[in-house]
Amino acid sequence: MDPTNYSTHSWLRSAGITACAAVSLVVNAYAGTTAPAANNSIQAAASWKDHTISPVTNPIFFEDAAIRTEVRPIFVHHRIDDSFLGGGDAQLYALQLRYALTPRLALIATQDGFMDVNNDALANPNGWMDLAVGFKYALIDNDASQFLLTPGLTFHIPTGSRDVFQGRGGGEFNPFIAFQKGFGDFHLSGNLGWRLPVNSDEQSSVLHYSIMADYYVSDRFVPFVTFNAFSVTNAGNNIGLLSEGYDVFNFGATGSQGVTQGMIGVGFRSRLFADTWLGVAYEKAVISPKGLTDERFTLDLSIRF
């Protein structure tokens, strides 16, 4: 196992306190509200959560605040920006698992699968991704206010192939907090987390944050818009790159200190069967340096039990 080497920044502690305060304000603001009446053209659900959807974009780190038993196969086609080692593309084939132990507690497996990278500068590598497992707990689950607040923790086990920048650094912790707020059939979902490697020379520490707005038009069509961003809080010392690898790769890039990268996404979910939702999303990098990403297409199935 690689030696532990953490670097702590006082401004990060302040950011954490600020984030907690913001969450507290949201809870206080909505704890006593009642949900607006649902759209009359839509059949009423047994629970407001029946009309909510799981995020499609940033699937590894944008964890849903809802506690569900779910199997989620995922395909991602990723186009590499031409300014990043000449460009190219990559494909990810993955399968996520979530199991609700109780109405509030779930075991989650958020990363696995196979990555195929088409980039001449990297010698067109392919290989298995690290495994990431953990849990989440719905600390607040208020049906009357249509509000969920769910902290959780995952650990990335370095089981993958080093050819695709996996299997390195002794592992990576990811503490996070997710929320979901409903306003009738309009929903806001968000996630804030921090990737903390065991070995901070081989991998970078990265703050990640996501937001999604969706509207339940019908079972067949739930459109959404998302924003996902990643800010390097402590750069690694592994490879001479100027930016990190968004949600999939943690390069340990030496020149990435303080760099933020982000993508805007649009898409929809559609219920194919009683417990199966199709997800489709398109994302575009909107913050410079774009680095690894130019655009991305994601397709998944959310199969609930």
Closest CA to 298 of 167, 113, 131: 113
Give the integer Cα–Cα distance in Å for 301 and 297. 14
Q: Which residue, among 187, 186, 174, has the nearest Cα to 148 in the 3D structure?
A: 187
Residues in Cβ contact with 55 at an 8 Å cutoff, skipping those fewer than 6 apart:
62, 63, 64, 189, 191, 210, 212, 226
Give the pLDDT confidence score for residue 45 in this predicted structure.
61
125-139 pLDDT, tens digit each: 999 999 999 999 999
Does residue 1 have a pLDDT over 50?
A: no
C-alpha of 275 from chain center: 22
What would the mean pLDDT of 237-241 be, rounded to a whole number? 94
pLDDT (tens digit per residue) in 201-217: 999 999 999 999 999 99
Q: Name the residue among 129, 136, 135 with its Cα closest to residue 250.
A: 129
Q: What percent of the chain has pLDDT over 70?
A: 85
pLDDT value of residue 271: 97
Average pLDDT over residues 250-276: 97
pLDDT value of position 44 = 52
Instruction: Phi first, then psi: give them for residue 104, nearest 5 degrees.
Output: -115, -15
Helix (H, G, I), strand (E, B) or coil at 49: helix
Q: Tell me: the pLDDT tens digits for 5-54? A: 434 343 334 444 334 444 343 334 434 443 344 443 334 567 999 999 99
Q: Please compute the mean of the pLDDT values over residues 174-178 and round it to a whole number.
A: 98
pLDDT confidence of residue 24 = 44
Question: How much is the pLDDT for 22?
Answer: 41
- Give φ, ψ of 191 to 5 degrees: -150, 135
pLDDT of residue 132: 98
Residue 30: in which H helix or E strand, if any? Answer: helix 10-30
260: pLDDT confidence band, cut at 50, 70 and 90? Answer: very high
pLDDT tops 70 at residue 297: yes
pLDDT of residue 2: 42
Question: How many CB atoms lie under 10 A from the CB of residue 242?
Answer: 14
pLDDT at 4: 39
pLDDT band (50, 70, 90) for residue 122? confident
